């Protein structure tokens, strides 16, 4: 006969509800008790029936995680951290990619609504109004996008941009270019506002651009035409493509133009020159976003904004302005 939850409770010396919470809400159970219950369940070969539990509780114990482009190296550390954090709470994560398409993003959210208990929406391209409407159907937590009244995890791109501009001006650069990303990007907006507020520097904004290496490659011509000697790129992929595009035009980095990226992806550390970049705490964002979402799922109505600090990592792609 199949092992039941009552068998586990009897063998563990606890109530059935304690066994249930050990699987469905481990944060509510004493760690020693949960360890004993899980060990007994493993020994007996007990596996909770998720379908039955969903019918009883109204919970699927699944979360959706929607990203703008899963091929972008920015997202995998966030995804892995979110999955690990969800697993600690006995939740599974369904990952979906919108390929930077707002319509696909909306369709995915509507499809997932009946299959998950909440959605992590990472760098969404939807309008604020659409996000507000969809949130009426399912709990949301936003990552790297601010919408008034919604629980949000932000990485302080504005601070990073200010540090980048200060670094470039400290090297003597007085005409800078900001190579922005997709239209409607919160990151682009933060970078533009931070750069525009800096004194004693002339800043030109070039974009929108695809947030890819090809986007950076295509932007190289505009950077050269702008006369900028220092560049802040939307992300590391754009920066890598930009370095390549400048080289094709006989412009050497950092001898002729200094380039700074955003994200601190592995590829930026391996190429030549190694990329100066704004490091983003993506793993921390994934963990915190899951905790905020489960708070909403537990009817505690998570609100507010968590802002995570960014840092500037100086490597080889920035140098003193030529005189």
Domain holding 17: CATH number?
1.10.260.40
d(CA 150, CA 47): 36
* Domain carrying residue 99: 60-155+282-308
Helices (H), the chain: 5-12, 16-24, 31-44, 50-57, 75-88, 102-112, 128-135, 157-170, 186-196, 213-226, 236-248, 266-270, 282-297
Q: Which two tokens stand for residue 115?
A: 């299959």
Cα of first residue to Cα of last residue in the chain, in angstroms, is: 83
Note whether 137 and 67 are same-domain residues: yes
Mean pLDDT of 98-106: 94
For residue 58, pLDDT over 60 is answered with no
- 81 domain-assigned: yes
Q: What pTM value is reported for the model?
A: 0.81
Q: What is the average pLDDT value for the chain, to the nearest integer?
A: 91
CATH number of the domain where residue 144 is located: 3.40.50.2300
195-212 residue pLDDT tens: 999 888 999 999 999 999
Average pLDDT score over residue span 214-218: 97
> Taking Cα atoms as reference points, which of 91, 83, 26 lies closest to residue 54?
91
pLDDT at 106 over 50: yes
> In the beta sheet, which residues pair with residue 177?
204, 231
14 occurs within a structural domain: yes
- Domain membership of residue 316 (yes or no) is no
> Both 242 and 295 in a single domain?
no
For residues 44-58, average pLDDT: 65
Same domain, 105 and 135: yes
**Shared-domain flag, residues 42 and 67:** no
Place of tokens 């990303």: 181
Backbone φ, ψ for residue 105 (5° rounding): -60, -50
SS3 of residue 119 by DSSP: strand
pLDDT at 217 over 90: yes
317: in domain = no
Nearest-5° angle of CA 128, CA 131, CA 134? 150
Residues forming beta bridges with residue 71, ordered by sequence position: none
Claim to verify: residue 298 and residue 242 sit in the same structural domain: no
DSSP 134: H
Kindly indicate the confidence band of residue 55, based on its pLDDT and cuts at 50, 70 and 90. very low
Number of domains in the chain: 3
Q: pLDDT tens for residues 220-260?
A: 999 999 999 999 999 999 999 999 999 999 999 999 999 99
Over the range 14-41, which residues count as b (16 or more CB within 10 Å of their CB) and which as e?
Answer: beeebbbbbbbeeeebeeebbebbbebb
Identify the CA nearest to 27 among candidates 304, 291, 322.
291
User: What is residue 71's predicted lDDT score, i.e. its pLDDT?
Assistant: 93
Residues 276-320: pLDDT tens digits? 999 999 999 999 999 999 988 776 566 689 999 999 999 999 999
pLDDT > 90: percent of the chain = 75
């Amino acid at each position: 006969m199949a092992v039941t939850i009552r068998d586990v409770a009897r063998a563990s010396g606890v109530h059935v509800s304690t066994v249930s919470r050990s699987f469905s809400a481990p944060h509510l159970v004493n760690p020693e008790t949960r360890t004993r219950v899980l060990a007994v369940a493993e020994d007996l070969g007990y596996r909770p029936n998720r379908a039955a539990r969903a019918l009883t509780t109204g919970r699927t114990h699944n979360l959706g995680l929607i990203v703008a482009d899963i091929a972008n190296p920015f997202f995998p550390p966030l995804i892995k951290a979110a999955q690990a954090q969800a697993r600690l709470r006995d939740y599974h994560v369904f990952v979906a990619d919108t390929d930077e398409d707002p319509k696909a993003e909306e369709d995915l959210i509507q499809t997932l609504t009946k299959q998950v208990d909440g959605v992590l929406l990472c760098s969404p391209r939807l309008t604020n109004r659409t996000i507000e409407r969809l949130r009426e159907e399912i709990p949301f937590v936003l990552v790297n996008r601010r919408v008034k009244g919604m629980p949000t995890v932000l990485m302080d791109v504005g601070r990073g941009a200010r540090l980048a501009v200060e670094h470039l001006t400290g090297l003597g650069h007085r005409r800078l270019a900001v190579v922005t990303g997709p239209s409607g990007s919160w990151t682009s907006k933060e970078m533009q506002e931070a750069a525009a507020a800096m004194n004693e520097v002339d800043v030109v904004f070039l974009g929108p651009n695809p947030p890819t290496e090809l986007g950076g490659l295509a932007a190289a011509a505009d950077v050269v035409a702008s006369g900028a000697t220092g560049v802040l790129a939307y992300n590391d992929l754009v920066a890598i493509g930009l370095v390549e595009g400048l080289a094709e035009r006989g412009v050497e980095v950092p001898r002729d133009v200094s380039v700074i990226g955003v994200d601190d992806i592995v590829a930026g550390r391996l190429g030549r020159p190694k990329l100066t970049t704004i490091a983003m705490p993506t793993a921390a964002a994934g963990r915190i976003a899951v905790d905020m979402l489960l708070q909403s799922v537990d009817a505690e109505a998570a609100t507010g904004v968590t802002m995570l600090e960014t840092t500037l990592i100086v490597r080889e792609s920035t140098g003193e302005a030529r005189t």
